[in-house]
Structures are given as C-alpha cells and as structure tokens.
A and B are shown apart, each in its own frame.
Chain A
Amino acid sequence: MSVLIDAASRVLIYGIAGNFGRFSARDLASYGTQVVAGAAPGRDTREVESVPVFHNARAACAETHADVALVYVPAPAALDAVLEVLDAGCKVIVYPGDGLPVQDAVELRAAARHHRAILIGPNTPGVISPGKSKLGFMPSFCYMQGPLGVISRSGSLSYEAGWRLTTAGVGQSTVIGVGGDPVKGLNAAEALELLHADPETRAILYLGEIGGSDEYAVARYAGRADAKPAAALIVGAAAPPGKKMGHAAALVGSQADSQAAKVAALRKAGVHVADNLRDLVDAVRHAFGQHEAAMR
C-alpha cells in the first residue's frame, strides 16, 4: 500500500502538448505509470507519446477513467485549469508551477476540499511512490521502494535527500512534495496524517526550511504518543532575516521562523534532526533505530 497514488492510478496530464508535458509523459511511462490521457485546450494535438489528447479534462476523464492529474500550465492559467480537473472528477491533482497568487491557492485548496479531492502544490515536483507510481517530474533514479515516508517543502532538496537515502540503501514508501508556498493544497500536517495511516511507512523524514509554520505541525505530530519515529532536516540557517529565499514562504520575519527555533522545537518533540545534509542519512537511521527499539 502507498498513499495518494499506486500502481492502479490512471494519470491525466493537463497541458501535455508543451515541451514539458511531452517530456513528462515519456518520463512517467518509462517509470511504468499509466498515463491514460492528455488535455490541451485550444490545440489540435490529438496524440502525444501514444497518449490520446482531449480538448478538455471532462472528456479526457470520461473516455479514459483518469483519476489523478498532473497540471502543467503557467500560474496565470492555473486557477482555471485545476478547477477544470477537479470538476472532471480527479481525486489527486499535482500543480507543480510556482508563482501562483496566494489567493488562487486559497481558492484551490477550498475547491479541492469541496470535491473531496487532494491538491498537491503549488511549487512542487509532485509525489512518487517508488516502484509503484509517479505523479511529478522528480528524477526517478533517486528513489527506491522501502519503509521511509518523506515530506518536503523543496523539490531539489527532496531529490538530493532521496538520492542519498537510496544510495545508502534506505528505501521510501511515498515521497510527497508539499511545496514551498505559504498556502498549500496539502500541507505538512495533512501529509503526516496520510503517512501515519500508511502501514508501509515505518518512519518519516521531514525536509523543511525557514519561514511558515509547517515545522511546528511536525513537532506537534512527533509529540503524540502514537507518532511514528521522525527525522528532519531544516535548511536556511545561513539565511539573513527579512529576505525571501526563493520560495514564497521562506522568509525569517520572526524568531519562530528561524532555523534554530524550528530545530529546537523538533528536537524537543523527539525528532532526530540532522545538522546539515552531511548527517541526513544518520538521522534517518536513528529514527529507524528508535522504531526497532520500540518493536522489541
């Protein structure tokens, strides 16, 4: 079992006719993910990489029974594209784009909830359940199947972490990119609940950064009596206060936003926090050690 997606997931790629959509269709297919439909409104494209392409999401889902979607449109078009895919009935949707206005993210989060669907993003590479399915554009070779659930605010950092873990022989159940924006479709607290309920996930790695409050949700989770063991890496110690570090939410505006405060809160809750990337795998191993000690 995995969370959000599995080998049975049927993927719609909205915006499949662009360069990135084509690349992603090939990439997903080569991972064994079933890309069953594409959508390209306003274009005459009928097929991309042997995938049938439709004028709209509703027709695509009706014809092909696509149930999850990956949406590749620029930020100004994202609100309407994701609403369309929700209306078409997709239950898990990844919107990877960055630069989405916050009020559009708020609207989409509310709309997804209304449809009893889950939006992942904005500003994320997506989600991968290694060996089963992939709904995003993370480099596949970085991952292998295993018992570690991963939640990340940063795409690039999740690749680096995945690659280190896989190289060290630590496989992953599901890697969820919740994204670097202040308002997320699926936030860290909600992603934690999914991994908590997943029997395949035995420990959780959280990759966080300065700004925002997701790290405190992780600390609250780790403080629970029934929590799975957790490790974390929080980046941005060297970032000066008051400056936005690329991600819309990565800004130290108060003491609570700082890397040091977050690390302290997580450690207090019993999370194995790595000092930096160098000891990330060790921190994860300590978390698993805690798990095994508890099993004995």
Chain B
Amino acid sequence: MLMTEHAGKCLLKAYGVPVPAGVLMRTSAHVGKWHGAYPVAIKAQVASGGRGKAGGVVRAGDSVQAQAAAQQLFERKFDGEIPASLLVEPWVEHSRELYLAVTIDGESGGYVVLYAPAGGIDVEHQAPHKYAFGAPRDFRAHEFRSMLAAIEPDGALRERIVALARRLLFIATAIDAVTVEINPLAVLPDGKLVALDAKIVRDESAAFRQADLAEGIERARKREPRMVAKALAGNLMMVGLDGEVGLMSGGAGMTMAVMDMIADAGLKPACFLDCSSNPTPAGYQLAFDVLDAEPKVKAILVSIFGGGTQIDRVAKVMNEIITKRKSRKPVVFRMNGTGRDKADVVMRDAGLHNYPTLESAVDAVVAAVRSR
C-alpha cells in the first residue's frame, strides 16, 4: 500500500530523517493563510508517479500566488485522481538532487539499495546503481561505500548517503515496507541531506503485525466500488473490470488465464474474482450475491480447478446456492481437480451441467451473454 507523501515524510521524520516542516491542507483558503516563510512548495497529494512532470508541484512566492496555485491544483486530475489535500512546505534551496531508495528486488530475492547521483523528475532516464545484499542482516555499509566511491568523490557526502541508506533499511524492516524511496534527496549548501519527497510502499501481507497498516487497508477497502468492497470484506480477492462476464474462479493464474480466453472471444470479464482465499459456503454465496446484484453482469462462469480445494465439496455448495438462488442470470460451470469424480456425481444428481473443458465452458458463457 502506497503512503501519501505527507504520511511518508511524517514517518521519515519520526525515524530521524530530515524533511521540510510541511503542513497538510485541504482547501485553497487554508493554503493562503500559511504562516511560515515564503517561498513555499505546494504539492498535490496523489498516488500517481510523474507528478512533478505533470505540474503537481508549484513554487509560490507569496500568499496570493499560493492560494491561486492551490485552487488550480485542487481542480486538476493526476492520472484520474483529484488531490484531496496539498502539502505546503518551505521551499528548500539546494545545490544538488540525488536519488536513494531501499526496495525489494524480486530478481535477487531480497533488499537492494538504489542510488543515482542525479535525482529529480528525470531519474528514470538513467538506471540507478544497485547494491543487492539480500537479507537485512547481510547489509554491509563498507560494500555500499565502495560502490559509491566510484560515483561520489566527496567523502563527506558519501558517508551521509551510506548512513541514510542504513536508516532507510532500518525503517523498511521496522514498518514492513517494500519500498522506501527518496527522490529527490536534496544536498543543502552546507552538505546536509533533506528528503524533499517520500515514496513509501508497505507490504499488505504484514497487516497482521502492523495495526496502522491493517487500518489503512480497511479504509482503502471502503473507498472501493460497492461490489468490490463487499467481496473484499468477505475475504475474496476481487478487482472490478467493467465487463459483462461474471467470472468466479479459484487461483490467480487460472483466473487470469480464463480472463484472457474471455477477452480472446471478444467479450470482457466483469471482474477478477478469486474465491480461493475463502473457499467456504459463505465465500461462494457472497461471490454469487455480488455478481447477481451487479447489473452489468449478464452471465456467470464458475471456473475452478481445485488442488487443496476439494471440488466435490464445492459442487455440493454450488448446488445448495443454485437451488435457493433468485437471480435468473445463466451460470456455466467448469470444475475439475481434487475429488472431481465425486463432484461429477453431485452435479449430475443436481441437474447441473459441468463442462468438461475450459474451452467449452468459455464458449457457452460467451453464447449466453450474446443471447441476452
């Protein structure tokens, strides 16, 4: 989960990383009453990257300029998102902009420190230098220092960067962050470092031991469209996709494979809905409730290939749900996997057809959508 810049900077500050003394503001009138010194930086608090290039950071020399700039920012969209708040902070005069991050790197299977000697909005044009060390206990300042020696001739600056990298790693492990990125990291005229931005992404899997993260996930869930929010609250994995085929599936890979087949047939899935995280009667009932209530969904495809999920049990549950169900949207089943022989019997006795292959099931659901 991505933290806002303001939340990220508060966190950096709490761990002793210098940041400008900013204030979060929700109206332009409020911005106009800034009591600190001018000039100020006014920064849209949005999730999308490339905010600087998109004009989301404005310098204002006085209160009139500040209020006008704020008003404009509150009306602009950044990747579809209108900022709900602005971060106002004193403009920091600096001599250089660097890039420094600690992040998880799937390729090396652990943490890496990323460093680029020219940070700022154009950092993507140059690949940052990478120090990969794996587990936090295997971080070695001297190894990172030797890597920097070839890039940064100024020994005092180098030491500040090494110390800050260690601090960012400490923060990443303490708060379960997969990315702690500072770009730009400003070098002040006296050589000190200040974090002018903060991009911190936290690992949602760690919510069980990070109460504030659990609360953040809960709040984000409530902002989702109703259909998705309901599914997520019931521990189903769901992403709304706006199409007409209600896909109820098990396992992320198979769900995507079936989505692709639906798309290849010229239709769109209404959702990515993976029930494998809650393969219980309540979970499947909720999945049907959600898809039945969504007017865009014209037909439902239940596609489950069970391994640990025993498919005969799922078949029994499906039968119970279908018997009581009020919606008349067509449902196409394709279930295979552990317990499939027993499942076939259950389905046959219930008068439900279980399509033998995914191809035949996808063709059937596509036909059902087209005939409505």
Q: Chain A residues in contact with chain B, CB under 8 A?
A: 20, 23, 27, 75-76, 96, 98-103, 106-107, 109-111, 125, 136-139, 141-142, 152-160, 163, 180, 182-184, 187, 207, 209-210, 212-214, 217, 233, 235-240, 243-250, 259, 275-278
**Segment among B85-93, B252-260, B318-326 that sits at the interface with chain A:** B252-260
B215 interfacial by beta-carbon distance below 8 Å = no
Nearest to B252 among chain A residues (CB) is A246
Which chain B residue shows the least CB distance to A76? Answer: B208
Interface size on B, residues (CB 8 A): 56
Q: Which of B68-76, B114-122, B134-142, B286-294 contacts A (4 or more CB under 8 A)?
A: B134-142
Say yes or no: B260 contacts A139, CB within 8 Å: no
Residues of B within 8 A of A (CB): 104, 106-107, 109-111, 134-138, 172-173, 176, 178, 203, 205-206, 208-209, 237, 239, 241, 249-257, 259-264, 268-269, 272, 274, 276-277, 304-308, 310, 336-338, 340, 358-359
Residues of B within 8 A of A99 (CB): 205
Give me 7 A-to-B residue pairs in the complex whose CB atoms sit less than 8 angstroms apart, sorted by A's number: A76-B209, A101-B203, A106-B104, A235-B257, A235-B259, A236-B260, A245-B256
Contact A209 B138 (CB under 8 A): no
The one of A102, A153, A159 in contact with B305, judged by C-beta atoms closer than 8 angstroms, is A159
- The distance in angstroms between the C-alpha atoms of A17 and B94, with both chains bound, is 62
Q: Which residue of B lies closest to A137 (CB)?
A: B308
Verify A109–B109 contact, CB threshold 8 A: yes
Docked Cα-Cα span, A71 to B106, in Å, equals 23
CB-contact partner of B254 in A109, A160, A182, A184, under 8 A: A160
A40-B178 Cα distance, complex, nearest whole Å: 32
Is A75's CB under 8 angstroms from B208's CB? yes
Q: Are B239's CB and A245's CB within 8 A?
A: yes
Besides the known contacts A98-B277, A235-B259, A238-B260, 10 further A-B residue pairs in the complex with CB atoms under 8 A apart = A75-B208, A76-B208, A101-B176, A102-B203, A102-B205, A180-B252, A237-B260, A238-B269, A276-B264, A277-B359
Q: How far is the CA of A27 from the CA of B109 in the complex (A)?
A: 32
Of B208, B257, B261, the most chain A CB neighbours within 10 A belong to B257
In angstroms, Cα B331 to Cα A209, docked, is 27
- Nearest Cβ on chain A to B29's Cβ, whole angstroms: 33
**Contact with B107, one of A76, A154, A180, A217 (Cβ below 8 angstroms):** A217
Known contacts A187-B109, A237-B263, A244-B239, A103 near B256 by CB under 8 Å: no
| Cross-interface CB contact of B205 among A100, A187, A207, cutoff 8 Å | A100
The answer to whether B253 touches A239, judged by C-beta atoms less than 8 angstroms apart, is: no
Select which of A110, A163, A209, A213 is within 8 A of B106 by beta carbon: A213
Contact, CB under 8 Å: A239 / B138: no
Query: How distant is the Cα of A136 from the Cα of B268 in the complex, in angstroms?
Result: 34
- Which residues of A sit under 8 angstroms from B134, Cβ to Cβ? 106, 109-110
Contact across chains for A278 and B359 when beta carbons are under 8 A apart: yes
Whole-angstrom CA separation of A191 from B259 in the bound complex = 27
- Given A159-B305, A183-B110, A276-B260, are A75 and B254 also a contact pair (CB < 8 Å)? no
A139, B306: Cβ atoms closer than 8 Å: yes
CB proximity of A251 to chain B, nearest CB, Å: 10
* A250 smallest CB distance to B (angstroms): 6
| Chain A positions within 8 Å of B308 at CB level | 20, 23, 96, 125, 137
Contact status A250-B261, CB under 8 Å:
no
Which partner residue on chain A sits nearest B138 by CB separation? A110
- Write out the residue numbers on chain B whose beta carbons fall within 8 Å of the beta carbon of A159: 254, 305-307, 336-337
**Complex formed: what's the CA distance from A103 to B276 in Å?**
24
Min C-beta distance of B223 to chain A, whole Å: 14
